[in-house]
A and B are shown apart, each in its own frame.
Chain A
Amino acid sequence: MIRYRLLGLLTDAFVFALGFFSLISPFILPQAMSLSSQTAAFPIMVSLIIMLCLLIMVFEAQSSLLDSKMIAFLAVLTAINAGLRFLENAIPGPGGFSPTFFLIILAGYFFGSRIGFLIGAMTLFVSGLITGGIGPWLPGQMITAGWVGQSAVLVSLLVKQLEWKDKPGEIILLAVFGALWGLFYGLIMNLWFWPFLGVGIGQTFTQTATALENFQRYLVYYLTTSLIWDTTRTIGNVLMITFMAKPVLKIFGRFQQRFSFFTQEDRVQP
């Protein structure tokens, strides 16, 4: 059992290292490149690596999906979450406001890192399928959304440590976490997307540029293109978590027992 857990942790670490490296590679790798034809292949290679990471993560996480209850549970939650993306217009809120994240965060917080990861990744995959958004950008989106759910387990550890369960502090922590991810998600998504624009990578002029200069360029790009959206997303996350976290967590609590197994322990053979 401990060996499995260790393997799981190692997997997470490996995937995170690879993902993180691919993320920041536009800043550190240009010096290595000369062929201008690498420019376009670069983002494709990055998404290929991310796709491999995703395969590993999903393969590891699906070991918790062995019975039909977990499968149906995950599927339904994913469908609701993907559906919420299309209800965006219906729920009143500022532009860029997305009700998707709070469920991923709450699911990760309540059901643990594997379920959190799967719900995040599957939500993005299913909505990609529905909107015809399959492409090299998808693995990056999936793994980032997966990380959102996976990392929510940190909040639950913190809450346990502080003994804030069912106290206002629990909701505040979750809201802060949601706010952080609201900003962070945009930042990371832009990093995935950046090489696709061909900016700052592999171009003849940047060969001599330092990582710092590249980073400055990224900052300009980030500030101009996505900060406003990220801010509204952050506000949206905070609002959704503030209002919805308590009732949603209560429901998760009510269903937790019904989705888990008792037979093995409780059954008495005649």
Chain B
Amino acid sequence: MNAIVWILWLTATMTFTLTTRNPLYIMIVLGGLFGLGNRLAKERNMTPWVLPNLRFLLTMILLSTLINGLFSHVGNTALFSIPQSWPLIGGDITLESLIYGVINGLVIGTLYILFNTINLALSTKQITRLIPHAFHPIAVVITIALTFFPSIQQRAREIKEAQMIRGNPMKKISDWIPIMIPLLVSSLENAILLAESMTARGFHKQTELQSPRALVSLILAAFMIFSGWILQMYRFPSLFFISLYILGTSLVTITLLTIGKQANVTRYHQETWTKTSMFSAALIGIYIAGFAFLALIGRLSTLGFSPYPRLHLPAIQTLGLIFSLIPLLPILVLHHD
């Protein structure tokens, strides 16, 4: 899968995770993510991946359960109670509010693990290449910083040694000035040499990136999306905020594309579109469209779930189960490749 397909997959999985409150669906997603993450971690010869993530998930759930249990006293099944006189947390501790906290923790934990998986799946280079052409100078800054980064620790070590050779005892904070200063000076000197080498190889000014018109349209777009969000929260009709979202997003996209075209550079590395990649992209497209359509016409009633007022088992639907299998898609593709 190429980086763009991964981002599509991320969007699809995130949409599903954020839309549902059904703990069963979320747990299926989680299971899939753990399977995928484990596989990716093994491929990259990384140290155990599942265990720390599981630990993190459990901590999130615990924290969320605790906080919700202490602060929220809604629900019919009281387990025990804290005296009302205690500020903020006084009241009944209910089973429902604890379960609500668990679900919250599950959703948030899933989001984290989802992003952890993406961090595993995409190399730093792939992520850097996703930076649009409109931000070419920034992309170059990041590329250089990443190239330069590994040498810093090495340099710091060498300088520390050199200072010890001069008898620096390396005990107090002020003993670190002799390390910081040569590190900074030699790095900045390096920056000048590097800049010279870049210039000599035709790196040129990008005056077109200064366009104030583009800046204004970006601000406008941000404002549109922002107002859409506010309208959505105050329960305005969906026509309003959805059109604002679409308008804002298109404005951002068009602006960035237009400026990017003017940046007079090409990139050696581009994402390659194999048949599997194109197929996966199409599949995810269908997934997102289908999911949005079904959710909007109300055919996915089991997505929502609330333990209040009295705890009950969440209902499930075959369609919902199918949608929660989205993390498996990359596993299948990886298997196929």
Contact = CB atoms under 8 A, between A and B. Distances in A.
Interface string A69-97: 10111111111101100110011110000
B127 A71 contact: no
A84 to B, nearest CB: 8
B287 interface: no
Contact of B107 (A3, A39, A58, A63): A39
Interface stretch (A126-134, A143-151, A152-160, A172-180): A126-134
A36 B111 CA distance: 17
Contacts of A86: 153
Nearest to B26: A40
A76 B194 CA distance: 10
Q: Is the interface of B mostly helix, strand, loop or mixed?
A: helix
A205 B111 CA distance: 23
B116 to A, nearest CB: 7
10 contacts: A52-B222, A56-B222, A62-B137, A74-B141, A78-B145, A92-B173, A93-B173, A126-B146, A198-B105, A244-B180
A26 B152 CA distance: 40
A142 to B, nearest CB: 12
Contacts, number: 262
B191 interface: yes
Interface of B: 14, 17-21, 60, 63-64, 67-68, 71-74, 88, 97, 100-101, 104-105, 107-108, 111-112, 115-116, 118-120, 124, 127-128, 134-135, 137-138, 140-146, 148-149, 152-153, 156, 171-174, 176-177, 180-181, 183-185, 187-188, 190-192, 194-196, 198-199, 203, 205-207, 209-210, 212, 214-216, 218-219, 221-223, 225-226, 229, 233-235, 252, 303-304, 306, 308
A24 interface: no
Interface of A is mostly: helix
Contact of B145 (A41, A122, A248): A122
Contacts of A204: 72, 74, 306, 308
